[in-house]
Amino acid sequence: MPYTQRGGRGPRETAFAGRRCRRTTMDKKQVNPWTWQDAYGFSQAWRIDGGSSVVFVSGQGPLNADGEVVGEGDFEVQTRQSFDNLRAVLEQAGATFSDVVKIGVYLTDIARVSDFGRIKADYIAGAQPASTALGVAALAIPSMMLEVEAIAVL
Assess whether pLDDT exceeds 50 at residue 149: yes
Average pLDDT estimate for 70-80? 99
pTM: 0.78
pLDDT for position 17: 54
pLDDT for position 8: 44
Assess whether pLDDT exceeds 80 at residue 153: yes
How many residues belong to the chain? 154
pLDDT tens-digit map of 1-40: 333 334 444 444 444 455 665 666 888 888 888 898 887 7
The CATH number assigned to the domain with range 24-153 reads: 3.30.1330.40
Between 59 and 7, the higher pLDDT residue: 59
pLDDT for position 67: 95
pLDDT for position 30: 86
Three-state DSSP class for 44?
coil
pLDDT for position 7: 45
Q: What is the DSSP track for 123-149?
A: T--SSPPEEEEEE-S--SSTT--EEEE
Hey, where are the domains in the chain?
A: 24-153
Assess whether pLDDT exceeds 70 at residue 54: yes
Three-state DSSP class for 54?
strand
pLDDT for position 3: 33
Distance, in Å, from the CA atom of 136 to the CA atom of 150, rounded to the nearest integer, reads 18
Average pLDDT estimate for 105-110? 99
pLDDT for position 64: 97
The fraction of the chain above a pLDDT of 90, given in percent, is 64
Whole-number mean pLDDT of the chain?
87
